[in-house]
Structure formats: C-alpha cells, structure tokens
Amino acid sequence: MTAIISSFLTFTGVVTNMVKSREWSRKTREEVITLHRKGNGYKKIAKMLNIPRDTIGSIIRKFKAKGTVETLPGCGRKKMLTSTAVRYLKRRVEKSPRVTAEELRKDLSDVGTEVSAQTIRRTLRNEGLHARTPRRTPLLSPKNKKSRLQYDKSHVDKPQTFWDSVLWTDETKLELFGPMDQRYVWRRKNMAYEEKNTLPTVKHGGGSIMLWGCFASAGTGKLQRVQGTMNSLQYQEILDDNVMQSVTNLRLGRRWTFQQDNDPKHTSKSTTAWLQIKGWNILEWPSQSPDLNPIENLWWDLKKAVAVRKPKNVTELEAFAHDEWAKIPVDRCKTLVSSYASRLKAVYNCKRMCTKY
C-alpha cells in the first residue's frame, strides 16, 4: 500500500523535485561540452565521466539554448506586490515619512492586496527607503528661516581670509554619564543583566559641567569651565579673561571677528554695551543656527574623546576635557573653517532649513 501511495504522489507531482538534485561543478560541465564537441555521444560521455546520461543531456541542451554552463538564477517565487503597489508605497512614505508599515499594510488590504508588514518593510528597503530615527534639529520659525537666508546672502562672497580671522565661540554641557557613553553591546539571550552588558546609571545624571570654548582656523583657543548658572556678568568676565589671550595665541591679527550665537546672555543690553566698549567686530548671527557654527563639530569630537577615557567624577571630567581640547589637531580646525563656504551653500540648497552640518 505504501508503494502505491508513493507512486501516486510522484505521478501527481507532489513528491517530484522535493529533493534537490546534485549540482555538478563548472569544470565538470565544461568537460561535458568539450567531449560533446569532439563528437562523443551522451552514453559515451556519461561512461567517461561517470555521470548519468540524463544529466549529460541536460547540460548539453542548456548549453545549446543559453550558450553557457553557468548556474542561472531561477524564476523564484512570484512577487507579492505589483509594480503599481510598490510605486504607491514609495509615494506614500515620501509624502508622509512617519507612516508605519502596519498602516501601509492596512491601506493595501483595503484595496484587496493582502501582505504582511514585514513584506512592506522589505520592499521599501529594496527601494532604498529605510526606517531611521529622525534627526533632532532646532525648530525654525519663518523669521528664523528669513534670517538664515539673509546671513547666507551677505556672507557667501566673503573671502577665505575673512573666515580664517573669525574666532568661533560657544558653550556646551559635558555629562559624566552622557549619551556618548551609550552604545550597542553584543550579548547572548538571557545575558542582558550581566555587568559587562549593562550601562551604569545614577540619579540626576551623575554630574555635569558647562564649558565655554573658542577656536579659529589656526587651532583651539582657551577653554574655561562655567561655574554655576551663567548670567550676563559672568559671560562678560569669561570673555574678558579668555578672548584676547586666544586672539593673540592664534595670531588672528588686528582685523579679527568675534562670533557668538544669540543666547539671551550674549545679546542682553549689558553684554551689548560691554562689547561696544571693547570695540570688537561682531559677526551678525541668525538665531537657531548651530549648524552654521563649526565649533559644534569640535564639541562632538571633544565629547567622544572624553567618553573614551571614562572619567569617574566631575574633577576627572573637567581635566580630561582640557586635555583633549588641547589635543585637537590644527588640521581639524583648519578643515572646518576652510569648508565654511559649503555650509552656506547647504543653507541655500535646503531652502533655509537645517543642514547636515
């Protein structure tokens, strides 16, 4: 009875091709073609190479039809989504980037196309569209956008010598257990809480410091810790202690330009009057534009370098920061400033929105 059922299944095609036949090497297939061209028949070639005659015939027929002995890609499973459906998915996500795969699945289901959310994700990946965490950027109002465009137009034709004479300044916050210390770990299942696979946390962040720094094309300038909450008066004291010394060390000359953002402490009446007394040339600055300040790139470099050294307390955090700030190569500073024209072009090309910088 078993033999009868087996024969029936084979006859109806259920068992047929369930076991993949052996695939002969390319060298062997080439030998078959060579022997065939010399006038040898299927039976003789099969005996010479110890290969079934049916296989010999299959290799030769394929060569005559396709002109090759290479393994050709199979037809594969029929695609679940039509080209029209794929175009719809692409249009939908390009118009609404936050739409989910499940929402797209429901949209297709409503018109009679049943596929899984995973199929939709795979299809979009094949089309070059990948789900990514959105980049965080400053919120730009129409006024901000207009200001950025005006800044771009008034400075796009500035010579490189102008940018080389700018002293770029800013403040940043360094945390003892900051985001730079967060990364992926390779671990096995059920080993998530082993000490080597965890990231220690403490209440209130474990401590942090605020730093004021400056740099120019010639290298990094002074770096100073901000004590407590900085107000206009303390900001003026920091500038008085550090700016002119940095200008001298970096050899910016007499026609140097001071850059600062539009933080309230920087633009208060008190600070504005203080800067007028100093007589410094102030670079006009559009609000909400950290991407236009190359010192942001140095802050990123600094935070990465300090995180690698794993400071244990705030004292080490400050010491490491000063140490790593001094180590930043002059070439790094020069490259950031020499490419400033590219930042301005990016502002214009992205229609005054935030740039990749």
Q: Give the start-to-end residue ranges of the domains of the chain.
A: 23-74, 83-126, 142-349
CA distance 289 to 339: 17
CA distance 244 to 223: 13
Domain 23-74, what fold? Arc Repressor Mutant, subunit A (1.10.10)
One pLDDT digit (tens) per residue for the chain, 357 residues: 444 334 433 333 433 343 445 678 888 888 999 999 988 999 899 988 999 988 888 889 888 888 888 877 666 677 788 888 999 999 998 888 888 999 999 999 988 889 999 999 999 998 888 888 777 776 778 888 888 888 888 888 899 999 999 999 999 999 887 665 555 566 676 766 666 666 665 555 568 999 999 999 999 999 999 998 899 999 999 999 999 999 999 999 999 999 999 999 999 999 999 999 999 999 999 988 888 999 999 999 999 999 999 898 999 999 999 999 999 999 999 999 999 988 888 877 766 556 665
Strands annotated E in the chain? 166-175, 208-216, 219-226, 257-258, 281-282
Overall size of the chain counted in residues: 357
Reading the block at residue 291, the tokens are 């991407």
- Sequence-separated (6 or more) residues with CB below 8 Å from residue 27: none
CA distance 91 to 94: 5
Domain 142-349, what fold? Nucleotidyltransferase; domain 5 (3.30.420)
- Residue 138 φ then ψ, to 5°: -60, 145
Question: Is residue 212 classed as helix, strand or coil in its secondary structure?
Answer: strand
Residue 336 carries which side chain, given as an amino acid letter?
L
- Sequence-separated (6 or more) residues with CB below 8 Å from residue 105: 115, 116, 117, 120
